[in-house]
Structure 1
């Protein structure tokens, strides 16, 4: 047994860490209690999702498919569904302070966490392309209909990048907080002007459906909304900055039923009214929503689109850059600052905009939706199996490369894509595919966890056991010479068992090899003793 290195323990936060991570947003570390943000600051940053035109569009598409009444009933069920699940995710994330990538490592393993980071980053980039394209098209149509759309795409990308350089704790919260009243006032103004110009009517509440489905209309609508499970990854990513004393507020307001009432119901009814009033009978599209806004309210509508899409794209670029940074660090050992990854994400978004994006974007999002639905189902099953947040292991030297969650998400995602691509259109199992995917993912993960070894590595000692409170006390890392919460610290088997932080352990080949050798040796000793 190697002699353990001495731990440099402190009960004070490292000021260098707090300053450095104000822009990096702890992308590779646990968020310490001292870095948690105020309730309204976090709410303003998180509510950037509220203003996506996507949620106006999807309500119109669903209402046109199954009728307004069935759509509204499905939306009501979705509010309850999303509100309760996000309440659970929010409470757990506040307790453990883990990003999506760190959380994924303890469920899917080291390799699985890499896949999760890439999945979330690419999904966020696709949404940034989708929403950014709306601003560009609106600018082009209003200012210069005959101009080259590529210049408007470039403008949209360039003005968005500086807005997320500082992260949640710098000014993203302040920006979105200032824009929220403008979004609310803008939406109300667009509704009033649409009604004034084209006539107020209740016809939008009586749309008839035209989709031939074997399911009740309300269930069809609910399943469509169920496919937007990426919001649950957003909750996990943002809510880790919440203070424990604000957990109930965030659970009900910031990420819970109140938020989803505004997101689904208010935006939904507004979208159905605006589209049916301005373009009655026209098939829904997100570009169609933007055109309806412009036609009804002119320059005010343009400002509304600018404000709404600016708010949502701060979230898209933030999540894409954060998870791309995590992916590169874990997969390739690249520990560049998040600002560099923001520029990289901007370049990727602009490149995608230059392609015929709408020809393949919805297909790509459908495939990713399958994987995200599986991820959420596995996460909730994990929480059910391990209700104690202290069991959320995430340190790179404590988990195997592949854990039960990795096999579960692969099986359910492959099955989901096969159903989408090969299933006959209109078949019952195709229409309820999200439900089937969630059940398969949850069941597979439960069975693998129940009947196989969980995938955690046996280790000689744990720095958490050397302090009274792993959240209050901090331990200095021998690699970066920074002190982080003891909750994320480990022993470096490749360097005299000295302390090493989670960020320095990621992608560290010598460290990961040494802990595997240590774990294999301990397992071998136990086997010899047993025989």
Structure 2
């Protein structure tokens, strides 16, 4: 957006936005391609901002929970196997998002789901952000209760409200917050493990022989491995939060090619490397403190780090104070990302359903409000059940998207080589992604509730992933890729080269005939209803056109 007012001499805009939407810093291009003029951060800054959100303590809680429930062997193998799956599925998503500078919702639209089909995934993604916001907020409130003796219900409210002002200013504020706090966080996270290795090395032997409440003890059980993996697989949707930052990557050029790829790989799929390390650390700490504290409290990160810092410092009070500071810092770093990504997802959902956009900040309040309700309902106490069920949905979505990007675009060439996200060029529903996700999620959820026996019940998320991945190319072949593009985008066609790269040169800017602002070519399309070029957001919000541009194509 080149200005906050229409150019002098232009006709009065047909659509006006409130001040929150007109402010690029607040709005952060919530429903749009992130233009080159706004992407002024270096590769390192974007990467560090994206990885800053990985400070969350839920990894420690998840690692602790699975080792307490399923024992050492099942917990460790599930963490490592799932980390490999998440890394591989994250590569194509991170690449396409960084290349085309679009968030997870816009990417999903063009990767087999269609314009309205991706509203389902917006809900799944929004659910991910508020579920994990509530889990992280619960961990934060536990720390407040331990140190300040603040009752949990009050702590939940504090932990929710403190996040809102930090998220209102989007990437501009979050990038600074993550850069400043990252070194301190890394030292505090790793320090206790070094101390335990030096002062109490028997903790590692105790860890490898820890059975928790598992029927198989510390030994491997295929059924319990599947159940543990189902919990950790819920984190597969974290790639969505990573690409909410990666969309601000600078254009890839011959000069920055190496740095660009390193940043995309580390900040995209690379998040799970640190995530898996934290889950392993959480399982170690939980097994270490369980004999003294009991299994009920051993998966709470505040208890893990209080005991760990006590090894370092000797003083119980100082250890609790430092652990509280570390947990609060970690939770703020991640919950700003959860709240931010949730505001983007809700913006995308409601703009399509109701053809209105009051601004990303409005949906920020909604997302935080839902998370607060879950905290007050005690969601932390049902950690394994909630995440095990959710992973069936998340895995079906990610599996369908990855299959489309890798197989349908890359191998079969049925899906367009580029990502189309504008309403005026997409079918409302594409059965390739939408259909494969619905079928995979439906069957795997039935399996989760025991419809197909105990084995498939334990492996329901894996069933979901395989079905979605296989069905997407099958449906694409059957439909011959008919439902990807409803009409060709002349603006993109003129600027697209043989390799599909939109960024070979700075795109021209066009004035939107609807709102009067200027946007880069990637964000524009020709509208036969207005008989002029309009921007992608005005296209989404138009309720009177009845898809005139796709007449004869959309049924």
Quick check: TM above 0.5? Answer: yes
2:352 equivalent to 1:330: yes
Q: Secondary structure at the match of 2:526?
A: strand
From 247, 250, 267, the equivalent of 2:260 is: 247
2:447 equivalent to 1:419: yes
Equivalent-residue separation in structure 2 for 1:89 and 1:151 (angstroms): 39
Equivalent-residue separation in structure 2 for 1:64 and 1:129 (angstroms): 21
Counterpart residue number, 1:379:
401
Counterpart residue number, 2:23:
20
Q: 5+ residue gaps in structure 1?
A: 1-12, 524-531
Cα deviations by residue, 1:368-389 (Å, 9 ceiling, x for unpaired): 3211101111111111211387
TM-score, normalization: structure 1?
0.85
Counterpart residue number, 2:437:
409
Counterpart residue number, 1:225:
232
Counterpart residue number, 2:524:
489
From 430, 440, 444, the equivalent of 2:467 is: 440
Cα deviations by residue, 1:317-376 (Å, 9 ceiling, x for unpaired): 111111111211111122112222222222222233222434666544433321110111
Counterpart residue number, 1:104:
108
Equivalent-residue separation in structure 2 for 1:211 and 1:518 (angstroms): 61
Give the conservation status (yes or no) of the 8 Å contact 2:53–2:333. Answer: yes
From 44, 48, 70, the equivalent of 1:44 is: 48
Equivalent-residue separation in structure 2 for 1:181 and 1:63 (angstroms): 29
Seen in structure 2, the aligned counterparts of structure 1 residues 314 and 449 have a Cα distance that, compared at 3 Å, is same
From 151, 157, 162, the equivalent of 1:159 is: 162
Please say which of residues 126-135 and 235-244 is displaced more in the overlay.
235-244
Equivalent-residue separation in structure 2 for 1:224 and 1:512 (angstroms): 43
Give the conservation status (yes or no) of the 8 Å contact 1:124–1:316. Answer: yes
Give the conservation status (yes or no) of the 8 Å contact 1:457–1:516. Answer: no
From 132, 157, 161, the equivalent of 1:127 is: 132
2:361 equivalent to 1:339: yes
How far did 1:264 drift?
0.8
Equivalent-residue separation in structure 1 for 2:126 and 2:74 (angstroms): 34
Equivalent-residue separation in structure 1 for 2:208 and 2:162 (angstroms): 41
Equivalent-residue separation in structure 1 for 2:120 and 2:152 (angstroms): 34
Please say which of residues 343-352 and 38-47 is displaced more in the overlay.
343-352
Cα deviations by residue, 1:458-495 (Å, 9 ceiling, x for unpaired): 44862334557865222221111122221232111212
Equivalent-residue separation in structure 2 for 1:293 and 1:458 (angstroms): 55
Please say which of residues 29-38 and 16-25 is displaced more in the overlay.
16-25
Q: CA RMSD for the aligned pairs? A: 3.1
How far did 1:304 drift?
0.9
Equivalent-residue separation in structure 1 for 2:441 and 2:184 (angstroms): 40
Seen in structure 2, the aligned counterparts of structure 1 residues 464 and 261 have a Cα distance that, compared at 3 Å, is closer
Counterpart residue number, 2:186:
184
TM-score, normalization: structure 2?
0.82
Please say which of residues 465-474 and 150-159 is displaced more in the overlay.
465-474
Give the conservation status (yes or no) of the 8 Å contact 1:54–1:286. Answer: no
Equivalent-residue separation in structure 2 for 1:149 and 1:64 (angstroms): 23
From 491, 506, 510, the equivalent of 2:544 is: 510
Equivalent-residue separation in structure 1 for 2:354 and 2:142 (angstroms): 37
From 448, 451, 454, the equivalent of 2:478 is: 451
Equivalent-residue separation in structure 2 for 1:201 and 1:464 (angstroms): 59
2:174 equivalent to 1:172: yes
Counterpart residue number, 2:15:
none
Q: Secondary structure at the match of 1:111?
A: coil
How far did 1:219 drift?
7.0
Counterpart residue number, 1:238:
245
Counterpart residue number, 1:7:
none
Seen in structure 2, the aligned counterparts of structure 1 residues 194 and 466 have a Cα distance that, compared at 3 Å, is closer
Equivalent-residue separation in structure 2 for 1:275 and 1:221 (angstroms): 15
Q: Secondary structure at the match of 1:475?
A: strand
How far did 1:307 drift?
0.8
How far did 1:178 drift?
1.6
Equivalent-residue separation in structure 1 for 2:161 and 2:225 (angstroms): 41
Counterpart residue number, 1:399:
426
Q: Secondary structure at the match of 2:510?
A: strand
Give the conservation status (yes or no) of the 8 Å contact 2:126–2:346. Answer: yes
Q: Secondary structure at the match of 2:133?
A: helix
Give the conservation status (yes or no) of the 8 Å contact 2:239–2:269. Answer: no
Q: Secondary structure at the match of 1:201?
A: helix
From 86, 99, 112, the equivalent of 1:82 is: 86
Give the conservation status (yes or no) of the 8 Å contact 1:87–1:255. Answer: yes
